[in-house]
Amino acid sequence: MTRIAIIAAMPAELKPLTRGWLHSRSNGVDLWRWSFNGGEWIAACAGAGVERAARAFAEVEKLGEIDKVISVGWAGALRAELLPGQVYDVSVVIDARTGERFVTALPVSDCWLVTRPKVADEAEKMRLAATYQAALVEMEAAGVARLARMRGIPFYCIKGISDGYSDNLPDFNRFISANGQFRLARFVFFVLLRPWYWPALIRMGENSRRAARGIAASVRDLLDE
């Protein structure tokens, strides 16, 4: 039986993919399972950050041995030509904290991704692009890649762009709790008093939904192979 793990940070990143799958929750981790003749796909999310990604990975492992693992979700663009809403196959993941580099099982390309502990603002995106020559930035993939390498499991990474290279957005870090959950109510109250953010956030919401649909299509194409 082939078992494939799909790890994300937030349920909304997985929603188009897991519609109709069996849902459960264990130790703070949301799990979705889709079984078919000869295999099972299991999607999991536990919040933002490498520690939460590791928790999601561990809960999937409790259900049985994993044959492949895919890190999916939203990422920020580090290049102006990469447009929000688009989806990319990542060939190299870099951990900004340790400098480690993880090569994925996807075809070699110049789409490299940097994982860092916090959401990157415009200035940080510029620094990361110059330092790593990377295309994308997010908060979880390196943690998943490290666990896959330790276990000798093929690792894949598919990311959709939620925010562009120069988008003017609020500091999302102040709304992410210690356990990697997004404090939506606090964020909404904050934004309601700052209408200059509204146009960019509306675009980000639309692009994030489009990216999630694209991620679902790309994952299905990969798994159907």
- Mean local confidence (pLDDT), 9-16: 97
Q: What is the pLDDT of residue 173?
A: 84
- Mean local confidence (pLDDT), 176-196: 90
Write out the DSSP string of 70-137: EEEEEEEESSTTSPTT-EEE-SEEEETTT--EEE-SSPP-S-EEEE-SS---HHHHHHHHHHH--SEE
Q: What is the pLDDT of residue 197?
A: 92
Q: What tens digit of pLDDT does each residue of 37-81 get? A: 889 999 999 999 999 999 999 999 999 999 999 999 999 999 999
Q: What is the pLDDT of residue 93?
A: 98
Q: What is the pLDDT of residue 194?
A: 93
Q: What tens digit of pLDDT does each residue of 81-114 get? A: 999 999 999 999 999 999 999 999 999 999 999 9
Task: Count CA atoms closer than 13 A to 6's CA, side-chain side.
Answer: 26
On the question of pLDDT at 168 being above 90, the answer is no
Confidence grade of residue 178 (pLDDT, cut at 50, 70, 90):
confident
On the question of pLDDT at 200 being above 80, the answer is yes
**Span of 4-13, 142-151, 152-161, 180-189 with lowest mean pLDDT:** 180-189
On the question of pLDDT at 219 being above 80, the answer is yes
Q: pTM, whole model, 2 decimals? A: 0.94
Q: What tens digit of pLDDT does each residue of 107-157 get? A: 999 999 999 999 999 899 999 999 999 999 999 999 999 999 999 999 999
Q: How many independent structural domains does the chain possess?
A: 1
On the question of pLDDT at 225 being above 80, the answer is no
Distance in angstroms (rounded) separating the CA atoms of residues 164 and 181: 22
Range of the domain at 128: 2-224
Cβ neighbors of 123 (< 8 A, separation 6 or more) are none
- For the domain that residue 23 is a member of, what is the CATH number? 3.40.50.1580
